[in-house]
Structure 1
Amino acid sequence: MSAAPAVQVRDLRVALGGTPILAGVDLTVAAGEWVTVIGPNGAGKSTLLRAVGGLLPAPGAVTLFGTPIAALRRRERARVVATVAQSPVVPAGMSVLDYVLLGRTPYIPALGRESATDLAVVHEVLERLDLGGFSRRELATLSGGERQRVFLARALAQGATLLLLDEPTSALDIGHQQEVLDLVDRLRGEHGLTVLATMHDLSIAGEYADRMVLLAAGRVVAAGTPREVLTERLLAEHYRASVRVVDGDHGPLVVPVRRTP
């Protein structure tokens, strides 16, 4: 008997403020798989991740590891799925260490304190993300790229099996983009993590994803391997972009081409 998928989404429909955002999305992510959702601005990518993470109501549409998300209490859900949002709310005056330690909340008893194990997990994650020297710094004093790594550190400290990454490298330079994504991929191999991400940089997305899903106007318009989804025809149709797609060692590379007048 095969294991249940990490994520099963069936006919997901979401409207915000009366405006339809997702119009019947189906998505399956196998345990241990990396799936990246791409699409033009306004396609519904972040909304999809929020629904999968339980941050938006999706009655009967989302199942995580065989369990309907509605059947998971908040604490249980936090041990299963961790989200890195595009712009997380950062409490004023909070240090890097204390912020990342919030990821251990699902394991700390009510009215209890963090254990030595919780602190050890946090310090290990900070070192892995090259943040060991920042633990006492306030988040507000960090650069955008440094803060992005701290947001990822909190999610990794949570110890969840499913990582939802909403534009995880948007504030990073190309070197730190590669470091963060290489780290996530390595942790995926070492700990059997499942990754569902959204990304704007199509070349980087294609380098790391096992499969890609192209959303447009709240619907899935293409799904498959990066080479099947990142085609000049699909990108021209749904992004209105002029590009060349070049085959790389790990996936297709998407190169913008200037339009001639």
Structure 2
Amino acid sequence: MTGREPAAVEVRGLHVTLDRVPILTGVDLTVAAGEWVTVIGPNGAGKSTLLRAVGGLLPAGAAVTLFGTPIRALKPRQRARVVATVAQSPAVPAGMSVLDYVLLGRTPYIAPLGRESAADLAAVHDVLARLDLGAFHGRELATLSGGERQRVFLARALAQGATLLLLDEPTSALDIGHQQEVLELVDQLRREHGLTVLATMHDLSIAGEYADRLVLLDAGRVVAAGPPAEVLTEELLARHYRANVRVVPGEHGPLVVPVRRG
């Protein structure tokens, strides 16, 4: 990132309170354009809340800026062309087919009361093929397994063509093979098209394998940030996760192995 190029995500002093409970208490975060940053932390740390605020799904005041523009200055249609979110459990319209659901990702490019173009359909079929979902396009979402639905949710976000991709636990319902396929695809698209990725993950080894930087969140604050080798240490994980682990150097990042006590 040059001195003239704005950060993809700039978060300064973000506070979020839900139902009178403080969730985030002064979070600072910067993600460079084209970077992959993954937020980790124990349950209840505020990871999903942070992603929702960055995606404009929670009020963030003046604390969040995307590519140099305050998020509150972006209209919903503008924001949808900039940022796409894959939530942990998105709302699924009853009776909707996979093709129609993924086509919703093209909404920012379709005129009001208009119909999808051949280019929109081509973009959707390309994403479905890349995610091994080509045979599912006519199936109802409700008939798919949890892992299949998770890939459909990602397909909708990728079809949206946004520059910033927010992934909230994108592999939580996937088997190990599809975990690797999905993350490799996201990384390939990031490199080919300059996508910026901000994710949350529970699997620390996978987080360290794919992210350029990790941000460790605990009790609504950033307690560590940096390359995976600096954040995935036995000391930090013991302190903030209360976990007994061994950290082993891997080819692409540290591998975190739980160890039984006693």
Task: Please report the TM-score for the alignment, with normalisation by the length of structure 2.
Answer: 0.99
SS in 2 for 1:221: strand
Residue 106 (structure 2) aligns with: 104
Structure 2 unaligned blocks of 5 or more: none
Residue 226 (structure 1) aligns with: 228
Find the partner of 1:55 among 34, 54, 57: 57
Residue 5 (structure 2) aligns with: 3
Where in structure 1 do 4 or more consecutive aligned residues deviate above 3 Å?
none
C-alpha displacement of 1:31: 0.1
Is 1:31 aligned to residue 14 of structure 2? no
SS in 2 for 1:91: coil
Is 1:189 aligned to residue 191 of structure 2? yes
Q: Structure 2 matches for 1:74-153, cutoff 5 A?
A: 74-153=76-155
SS in 2 for 1:147: helix
* Aligned AA (1:230): L
Q: Structure 2 matches for 1:66-77, cutoff 5 A?
A: 66-77=68-79
C-alpha displacement of 1:75: 0.1
SS in 2 for 1:203: helix
Structure 1 unaligned blocks of 5 or more: none
C-alpha displacement of 1:118: 0.5
CA distance in 2, matches of 1:163, 1:259: 38
* Aligned AA (2:4): S
C-alpha displacement of 1:40: 0.1
C-alpha displacement of 1:3: 0.5
* Aligned AA (1:248): G
Aligned residues: CA RMSD: 0.4
Find the partner of 1:252 among 251, 254, 261: 254
C-alpha displacement of 1:25: 0.1
SS in 2 for 1:75: helix
Residue 22 (structure 1) aligns with: 24
CA distance in 1, matches of 2:102, 2:225: 34
C-alpha displacement of 1:2: 2.7
CA distance in 2, matches of 1:3, 1:175: 37
Residue 167 (structure 2) aligns with: 165
Over the matched positions of the two proteins, sequence identity in percent amounts to: 84
Query: Over residues 22-63 of structure 1, what are the superposed CA-to-partner deviations in whole Å (9 max), with x where a residue is unaligned?
Result: 000000000000000000000000000000000000000000
SS in 2 for 1:26: strand
CA distance in 2, matches of 1:179, 1:205: 15
SS in 1 for 2:91: coil
CA distance in 1, matches of 2:106, 2:261: 50
* Aligned AA (1:168): P
Aligned length in residues: 260
* Aligned AA (1:99): Y
CA distance in 1, matches of 2:162, 2:22: 30
CA distance in 2, matches of 1:198, 1:19: 21
CA distance in 1, matches of 2:98, 2:190: 24
SS in 2 for 1:183: helix
Task: Please report the TM-score for the alignment, with normalisation by the length of structure 1.
Answer: 0.99
